[in-house]
Amino acid sequence: MKMKLSEIARVVGAEYSVPDSLAPTVTGVAFDTRKLQPGDLFIPLQGERDGHTFISNAEAKGACATFVAADHAPFATRLPQLVVEDPLAALNTLARYYLLMKVNPKVVAITGSNGKTTTKDMTAAILATQYHVIKTQDNYNNEIGVPMTILAMDTNTEVLVVEMGMDRPGQLHELSNLVAPDVAVITMIGEAHIEFFKTRDKIADAKMEITDGLKEDGLFIYNGDEPLLRERAEQVSQEQKTFGLEPENMLYARDIEAGETRTEFSLSRWPDLRFSIPMMGEWNVANALAAILVGRRFHVKPEAIQSALRDFPVTKNRTQWVMGDAGESILSDVYNANPTAMKAVLGDFAKFPCQGRRIAVLGDMLELGEASAALHASVAEALDPDQIQEVYLYGDEIVSLKQALSEKYAPEHVHYFPKAEQRRLIVALQDTVMHDDLVMLKASHGLHLENVLQALIDGTSE
């Protein structure tokens, strides 16, 4: 971005008497002084610590100005300060102005219990064959990350592909109205955040909020294999298209061939084209179908879509294969987890050729609420001792899966470690894993299985 501070003041309703010709030019925004660049406007947000305590750091790092909340004004700083009622609300106001008045790109908004990051990456890769595209980076998918993504756009951006997460009702309503998408996508409904929503029906209701800001001439794309979405889509007046693995969808996949690092499939629409993605799993084929529908909305040719999907950049730690210190192959999926995703990954993992043993290392799936014990236990459906010989369970919630597996596995093949004993888990794995084994790691990010992964790669236990 590149805006005069005086213009920003007018946008957010702050007093600033310096004329445009003398006002400093803001070249970015930052709420984390560790990432602040000279010329940035600092946004002091309220988190575990009050962001105003970092204004002096922002000044030292070269910020050109700062927002200050009204209840903190006047603030002792040499930086020009724009006094606003709420810095986060002012950030959103500024982002919406910049989006609509300075850039005005087409907007693709993507949400879902699983697959939203992968679908975002696939969609951006497809659209980048024809347009200048900006997409959500890292985990910037909430009420802070979305406006930050908007304000990071170049003024020549033609399409913004924005990922939207949620953990409470109303969150997607606000984000959708902020970006006013031309295309809204829901990848799937799972059990993520069921602790807060109690039922999948309520999760579906909350996901549907992504359509609240959808433009009148916009397009709603959703997973038609999910009855909860089909029911709710009847209330959406805009054009709709469905994708999935069932032939009732407008776009569906067939002849799927899944490998360890690549999956191929054909489509109902272009039977002569064979598509390939650098990822494992049928669920990732569904994500590709959503991205393909977005691409066709923007008139990207099928052959260009085929080429873009073949080698699109995959976000780290999402079903990524790495080599361990003992020579074992490790399937790392340590970024997030819920029961639907865990069962799907286990189903594919059980099919991969293996000269030694298949070893599953599974950790707690968080935010499952009162249903946590039953949902963890349900993962036993996807575990078969003839296919996955050893199971290592880590965490406090997953103990119910240990109990469920006692009906299928001999006790010596199920290994349980409480959350406080990660180092003991690492040592146990290093003592048993051999060069011809396949190892799978999956848990919610709060379990920090990335530490276990790194220890298996490096051969260390510290």
Q: Residue 430 class from Cβ within 10 Å (0-12 exposed, 13-18 middle, 19+ buried)?
A: middle
Residues 235 and 349 in one domain: no
pLDDT of residue 193: 56
146 contact partners, CB below 8 Å, separation of at least 6: 95, 136, 140, 162, 164, 175, 178, 179
pLDDT of residue 416: 98
Q: Is 113 annotated as ligand-binding?
A: yes
Tokens for 278, please give them: 């650098």
Q: Is 141 annotated as ligand-binding?
A: no
Determine the Cα–Cα distance for residues 114 and 346; give it in Å rounded to an integer.
Answer: 15
pLDDT of residue 370: 85
Instruction: Give the domain-ending residue among 310, 338, 372.
Output: 310
Compute CA distances 304 → 126, 136, 251, 274, 301, whole Å. Answer: 7, 22, 17, 12, 5
Residues 417 and 305 in one domain: no
Banded model confidence at residue 194, pLDDT cuts 50, 70, 90: low
Q: Is 117 annotated as ligand-binding?
A: yes
Residues 293 and 347 in one domain: no
pLDDT of residue 341: 86
Question: Is residue 440 pLDDT above 60, yes or no?
Answer: yes
Residues 291 and 161 in one domain: yes
Q: Is 129 annotated as ligand-binding?
A: no
Using alpha carbons, select from 125, 199, 118 the residue that is nearest to residue 159.
125
Domain of 71?
A: 3-84
Percent of the chain exceeding pLDDT 70 equals: 97
Tens digits of per-residue pLDDT, 104-158?
Answer: 999 999 999 888 999 999 999 999 999 999 999 988 999 999 999 999 999 999 9
In whole angstroms, what separates CA 39 from the centre of its chain?
29
pLDDT of residue 462: 58
pTM: 0.86
Q: Amino acid letter at 336?
A: N
Residue 38 lies in a domain: yes
Q: Which residue has the tokens 């997460």?
A: 165
Residues 306 and 325 in one domain: no
By the 8 A CB rule, do 348 and 263 touch? no
Q: Is 112 annotated as ligand-binding?
A: yes
Determine the Cα–Cα distance for residues 428 and 257; give it in Å rounded to an integer.
Answer: 35
Banded model confidence at residue 369, pLDDT cuts 50, 70, 90: confident
The angle, 0 to 180 degrees and rounded to 10, between the axes of the packed helices 200-207 and 171-179 is 20
Residues 155 and 304 in one domain: yes
Tokens for 242, please give them: 């469905």
Question: Is residue 88 pLDDT above 90, yes or no?
Answer: yes
Decide the pairing of beta strands 159-163 and 106-111: parallel
Residues 263 and 127 in one domain: yes
Instruction: Give the domain-ending residue among 310, 336, 361.
Output: 310
Question: Is residue 307 pLDDT above 80, yes or no?
Answer: yes
pLDDT of residue 153: 97
* CATH code, domain with 430: 3.90.190.20
pLDDT of residue 48: 87
How many Å from the N-terminal Cα to the C-terminal Cα in the chain? 43
pLDDT of residue 172: 97
Instruction: Give the domain-ending residue among 84, 118, 153.
Output: 84
Compare 340 and 327 and report the one with higher pLDDT. 327
Residues 277 and 176 in one domain: yes
DSSP annotation of 46 reads B
Determine the Cα–Cα distance for residues 329 and 335; give it in Å rounded to an integer.
Answer: 18
Please list the alpha-helical segments (H only) found in 298-350. 302-310, 339-349
Residues 300 and 390 in one domain: no
Q: Is 115 annotated as ligand-binding?
A: yes
Domain count, the chain: 3
Q: Residue 208 class from Cβ within 10 Å (0-12 exposed, 13-18 middle, 19+ buried)?
A: buried
* CATH code, domain with 9: 3.40.1390.10
Residue 21 lies in a domain: yes
Question: Is residue 252 pLDDT above 60, yes or no?
Answer: yes
Question: Is residue 286 pLDDT above 70, yes or no?
Answer: yes
